[in-house]
Structure 1
């Protein structure tokens, strides 16, 4: 396959050129345009590496499209897969939650179904994207450690993150925002909400610290990459770094993000945060971290189509050091490097031919075609 007349985004520059693919790998990159029969004219659009998503919970909504509706697993997973590919995401770490802030939630009911669908769809070669398992561990939930141990016996995760969504700390340092969020989500009365806060605080005090340490120790023994979640203080970052966490997911303050970046952890922020111009929870904005030069990875989180738009927005910010290659590295080779993947994420000879052809239309980036291992999948 030959792709020509493209703005090819390399690791450190953009060239007008031609890319050749052989046997699923990038074979050569050359300046200039060719007119060979069968060459695909990219019409001066951008040719970038397929994007790598380390944390998305997009899959969940397809398993329960309405309250009380459990959609068949493979069908639900295939719709999720199609959404990821159409967004230019060719490698997906599907974030599946172990534990929740409430017992009996749809998230808990779907846990085994989602893991089974991920494994089965890969076994049957049904997926367009390359899917990996990311286990999100809510360490303030009583059953989290037991569920984590049972899943390790049947499906090894490629990434594990540790989170605690209890009130008064991390994402919900503001109790007012905590009350607003959970009262709205679960339609609780004032009295029910206060009882809910008391239960969550007690569960966090009892389980979070021992579960965090136990899960991290197991992952370190098995060389499974670890990520922190919602670090808010230097002390949180020091703890995360001490537990060998390599990614700092969604730090809530600039102080925590700077500390994590300087510790050598890869700072991940939400692409929706970048596209919208700020955090929906009132925490630090992604563009602030880009201005500080401590933004390392973007994640689409709950909205797949945000990822490419967010990378281009980073490149357009008036005051930062991210040109287009550096901005696109936030969604390509930097997330790959953070979790030890060295065969993708770059346009370079010998790399996997996971490619995205896109074009700019005003402030929107339109995806024209996507290839996985040299095969067109969108």
Structure 2
């Protein structure tokens, strides 16, 4: 990427606010007004919130909508290898010239006012979506929902709330009820919402807010169900039963993400053939992704190399289930995490299925947890751990001591993005 391109503009945007996260919508509304309210000119919006599964559910939705012949905008965060991944225009990642141009327009319209990086880049995405023809817009919240920069569309076509668990307590609250209250902030009066599997405490909050707004709910366990039968995914909702191939994304948790997407697609009038295509053609990197080519794969030799970006206790639990259901093989973790995460809670379930852990710091990330701290947390949950300077160094050590093992690089999407760049 050119040093005078989008990377330089994004760097300038980072300096517009002293904090990375500062939840409010005031600055977003100000900038949207300066740009003649692009949020009012979007193709029909599907808005997603939740703690886990937002990105995967959005990926299934996009695959299904596109299989039905629709052009689809999508917005997600964070990116893995480069910022362009966040903004997909009518099915294609935004180009460097288009990204630079829209960022420049937003930077100029902001006129030096205080605004966070996520807020101004979200506005840039909305502006791009408003000016590019498409049939649908998929918006994934960055953090929470009620005060998230994406929560500016008065009448989305649908909303989706994926499973809620404890995460980002410093911003969203320290109980499931408080966090659910923030996530349920995407509910809109009269707009249907598909609700994925939820703890009772979270579901009560969602249902109470929906009742106040008159927002119809399609709740897992009440209005729709899913199960696995003979290796296939069976989804039953108000439109009847549909028998689908297993999702291309690996893990039991992906069944619930896929099922929530299917219920949403059917509520939008998308046919079962498109839903079937979504199961087979979905792509979502760094979610229990098997790496099969690249220099890191070459370094792993006969060992399997996997990558996952989950980073909270619920993600650790789901990952442990996935590993337990893979063919038996010694499993060794390479883990790097942010200092804002519950590292002990994340590692506790993994200790039961992993043989060892090598901790790394996340390169170039100021909020990385030092490798020594990650290793100490592993010791607390009785998982043997050492440290390494780099992921490549950790891979070499594991393959030297345990040839033919299963190696899983995990703990952060930021680490996953760095790995994908290194392995490209």
**TM-score in terms of structure 2 length:** 0.28
Higher relative contact order (CA 8 A, sep 6+): 1
**TM-score in terms of structure 1 length:** 0.30
